[in-house]
Amino acid sequence: MNFGPYSLYPWNSTTPSALIGNMKYYILEPIDFGLIYIENEDIITVPSVRNTDSELYKELQIDDIISVSSNGAHLCCSGFSSHIRCGYVVALNGFTSDEEYYNDILVVNNLLSVQGDSGGPLFYYKNLTHVSLNGILTGALYNFDDNINAITGVITINSILNLFKTLEVVTVSLNPVS
C-alpha cells in the first residue's frame, strides 16, 4: 500500500494541482479503506461532489448521508477517470474475496467505472445541485468487450462510520425557511 504522498489532480489532467498529504491509516478487512491526513493548509474541505463536466452544476453539495435500502435504487459515482456515471443497485449484501483478504458490507451497483475511479463518492441526486452521500467506490469488474455489463463494489458510509467512530461526514447546512 502506498502511504503517500497524495496529490489533488484536476479531471483530465496528469499534473497535480496541490499536495494533499500522506495516508495515515489504512485497513484491508473487513472493508478496504484509508484515511489521508490533509497536511497542506491551503486545502479546504468542501462538502461537495465534483461534477466539472457540467456547464451549470460543477459542484454538487452534499446535504446528508443515506443508507441504500433497496435493490434497484439509482446511484451515481464521481470518479477521476469516468467522471459522473450512474447505475442501479443490484445487491445490498455483497462481498469480495481473494486469496488474502475478505471484504464485506458492500453494495453492488451496475454502473461502469474504470481504473482510477476507486475512492470516488457514490451518491443519490436529490435535485440538480444537491446529493445524499451513500458510499465510496472500492473496485469494479466489467466486460471489456461490450463496455456495458459492469459490477461495482461500494463501501457504505455507515460501515465506515461504524468502524471509525470519531469520523464525521462534512455536509452543507441548509438555512431553514422563515
Q: What is the pLDDT of residue 110?
A: 82
| Domains in the chain: boundaries | 46-163
Q: Which residues of the chain have pLDDT under 50?
A: 176-178
Element containing residue 153 per DSSP (H, E)? strand 150-156
Find where cell 452521500 sits.
Answer: 133
CA distance 69 to 133: 13
Output phi, psi for 123, to 5 deg: -145, 165
Q: What is the pLDDT of residue 105?
A: 65
Output phi, psi for 177, to 5 deg: -75, 130
Q: What is the pLDDT of residue 46?
A: 86
Report yes or no: 43 and 30 within 8 Å, Cβ to Cβ: no
Q: Which of these CATH numbers, 3.40.50.1010, 3.20.20.10, 2.40.10.10, 3.40.50.300, describes 46-163? A: 2.40.10.10
Q: What is the pLDDT of residue 56?
A: 93
Q: What is the reported pTM?
A: 0.82
